[in-house]
Amino acid sequence: MSNLPSVDITTLAIYLDKAKSIASVSKMMAGVYLQDLIIGQDIAGQLLARAVQADIKAKARLEEAESIAYLDRAIDYLKERGIKDSSEAKKMYIPIDPDVKKAQDDKSRTEALVMLLKNKLSILRMSHDDLKKIIYGDQHMTQYEGM
């Protein structure tokens, strides 16, 4: 079982749904949507910070697993197979060590989560900027538009 922290992005989904519907927002509702998109950015930023922290920890666990595989487990593995103990032989063992494989899997998951959350944060930022352009960019609309 993975020792990665879980990240609940269901709260973020609410704000991402609002970002999808900005084209139909009236001037009357614009302020609410802008506020919601700012809150969504804040939530995405917090989740991203936790994901980056998990990614850094996963990298450290991977490096530790590689060191242990090289220094401790490679020797027994090489002995079992009658392979001469050398630095190069130990290096060849590292990618097949079960703990290293698990640590690599954890690292790839945290890296993917960081990328996903960066993308979601970017979507919310662009939606916020686009909504401002939609609402405040056209000076020819009447004050009653969207009512």
pLDDT in tens, the chain (147 residues): 456 666 678 889 999 999 998 988 888 888 999 999 999 999 999 999 999 999 999 999 999 999 999 999 999 999 999 999 999 999 999 999 999 999 999 999 999 999 999 999 999 999 999 999 888 876 655 666 555
Q: Phi/psi of residue 114, each to 5°? A: -60, -45
Place of tokens 């945290």: 110
Per-residue pLDDT, 23: 86
| Exposure letters 40-70 (e unless 16+ CB within 10 A, then b) | bbebbeebbeebeebbebbeebbeebbebbb
Domains of the chain, by residue range, sit at 27-134
Per-residue pLDDT, 27: 83
C-beta of residue 37 within 8 angstroms of C-beta of residue 18:
yes
Per-residue pLDDT, 146: 53
